[in-house]
Structure 1
Amino acid sequence: MSLKDRIATLAEFGNVIMQRNDELQELMHEIEMHNRWFTKINQEITLDAFANNFLQTFKMNEWVSNYTINESANKQVGLILAGNIPFVGMHDVLSVLISGNTALIKQSSKDALFFPWMYNTINEISDVFKHKMVFTDQLKNFDAVITTGSNNAGKYFEYYFSKYPNIIRKNRTSVAVISEDDNDEELFELGKDVFSYFGLGCRNVSKVFLPEGFEPEKLFRIWEDYRFVIDNNKYKNNYDYNRTLLLLNKTPHIANDFFMMVENEELFSPLATLNYEFYNSPVQLQNYFESQAENLQCIVSNIPGNISYGKSQQPELWEYADKVDTLKFLTML
C-alpha cells in the first residue's frame, strides 16, 4: 500500500480517537483499572495530542515531506516501549508504520492495552497495516531496534543491541525558565508542564529556574487548581513519603498539601517535588543547558526557541525525543 494510503488510514484512526466512541471509553476505563497512574484525565491529554498533533493529514504530509520513503521497505523494527505515561511509544509506532516497515512491539506491562486496540481498530478501517504491528514478549529476528528506558536499562540495551542499527533512549527530564515579565496566566499554563501525568514523563518539568527576587511561594497560589493530583492514591503516597524524607533529613523546603519545592542544583527531582534555583544571567543558563544536553528533553519558557508554557506534552511529529530523527533512521535501514 502507498504512503498516501497509510496516511489516510492513520488520519481516520485519528477521527476515531477524536470521537471517543463507547468502545474507546470502555477501553480507557479498563486502562485506568489496570494502571492507576493512567487516569482518564491523563489519557485524555495523550489522546488529544495524538488526534490534534500526530494524526492530522496535513501534519503527516508535512512530516514526511522531508524524507524519501521507500515504498518497498520491509524491515523488522523492534520497539521496546516505556510505560511511564499513557501510550508513550506512539511516536515510535507511527514512525515505523509510516516508513512502511513492520513494528515488533514489546510493550511495558504497565501499558499493554492501548496498542492492541489500535491495531484492531486500524485493521477495521483498512488492511494497509495488516501484519505491520506484531506484539511479542521477546524480540527475535529483527533488523533494527528502538528502546526507551532507564539509564541502567540503556546500558544493557547498548551492550545487547550493539550489533544492530539502534536508537537507545535513557533518562531525561525537562526544566522551565521563569522570567520577571511572565504573568500569572502564563505561569498557570506552566503548571500543566509540571503536573500532567503526575510529573512522570521526560517532558514534565522537574526544575524551575527563577529570576533573583522571585518568591517561589507565588507558584503555590497560581497552581492551586492543580490540587486534584493529590486525590490519586499513588501520587499521595509519593507525596507523603518524599515529604517525610525532607522533614527527617531537615532539608529546607517549602510545601503546600499537594507538592513541595526544594532549592536544589539537581535537574531531576522526586515525585511531587519541584526543584528550583535562582539565576542572574540568561547567558549563563544557556551555557549550563548546553552542558546538560544529554539530560534534558525540553526547556520551557517564553524565550524564543524554547517550548511555550503549557505545551511540553504536545510535541509535533517532527519534534523527536532526544533530538534523534527517528524517521530518518528508519528510512536509511
Structure 2
Amino acid sequence: MKELERIKKQILRQLIKKPSTFWELINYQDSHITAFLQAIRELIDENLVEYKKPFFRITDNVNAFPYKDSGCLLCSPFSKDSYWKEILDKFLEIVKDRPLPTSDFDQGFIRPEDTLKRTAFIYERGDLEDTEIFILGDDDLISLSMALTGLPKRIVVVEIDKRINKFIKEKTQEIGYTNLEIYNYNVINDLPEELKKKFDVFVTDPVETQKGLKLFINRCISALKGEGSVGYMGFTHREASLEKWYNFEKFLIESGFVITDILRDFTTYPEEENQWEDFYRTYRIMKEFDLELPNVDWYKSCFIRFEVVEGPKILNIPLPKNIEELYFDDEAWATPLPSFLEKNKE
C-alpha cells in the first residue's frame, strides 16, 4: 500500500468518528506535514472530505471503519475502547488449548495480550485494514488475533509446524474469517512463486543468528509488493548484540527500507505458559554459569516496523549450510538444542 493511501485511510477513520481541525487530525496519521496536506487535498478533490473552518468533515460518500483507540500500548493497552477488550477476551479463549513450543523449531510464544498489542499497533499504523498480510512463522497466533478484527483483506501464514497450521485452520473456521490461507513451509526453501510480490505487510519473529535472521527477512521481502509495503518483526537484546543490530540495520537499508518504529521490550515470553523448563537443559547460558531456573519472565522482544522507500531489493546473502547454523551462533545462549541434534551429539 502506498504511503499516501495509508494516510488517507487514517484520516477517514478518524473523521468518521467526529469532525476535526487540522491540528487535531494530524495526530491521527503518521506522515510529514506536506504529505498529510496532500492527502487532505486529494480527499477533498475526491469528494470524501469537506472543509468548513476550522473543521474537516466526511461527506456522505465515505464508507469507513471508525477509528478504534487501543490506548497506550506501553502502559494501559485496550483501556480506551471496548472494541479491543472484547477482542482480547475472545483471543484468550481461543488460544487456551494452543500447541506448546517444541525445541525442534526454536519456538516460544509471547503473552496473548502482547500478541494483540502487536495487532493493535499494526492497526494504529494503518497497516491492518483492507491489507494483504504475510506471516512467516506463527506460534504467537497473531493471524488469529487479526482474523478476530475482520479487518485484513487477506492473511497468509507460512509455517513449518503442522500442529500450529492445523490449530490455526480450525480456529479460523470457528471465528468465521474466510480469507486466511496456510502453507506448510520451511524457510530454507524458496518462497512459492504464487506468494511473491503479493503482500502489503509482513510479520515475522525470525531466528536471531546472523545468517538465519537475514534469511527470514529476505523470504519476507520477496513477498512484498513494493514501495510503501511494510515489515514488522520481533527482535531481542537477549541474543542480539548491538553489532548484530547494526549489521541488520545496514541490511535493511541496503534492501530499500527505513526503520520507522522500535518499541523496546514490547512483548514478553511467559515462562509458565510456555512450559519449556526442559529447554534450559540445553541452553548455553546454563552451561556457562551455575544457574537456577528463572523465577520471573525475563525473555523480552522489541517490535520493529520498517517501510519500503526504494525497491525493495532481494540481496544475495550467504545461506545457513545446515539447521545448526540456522539456529546457533556465538550469541544464541538461550536457544534450545533441537531434539534431533541432541541425539546426534550423544
- Normalising by structure 1, report the TM-score: 0.37
Q: 1 or 2, which has the higher helix percentage? A: 1
- Normalising by structure 2, report the TM-score: 0.36
Bigger RCO (CA 8 Å, 6+ sep): 1
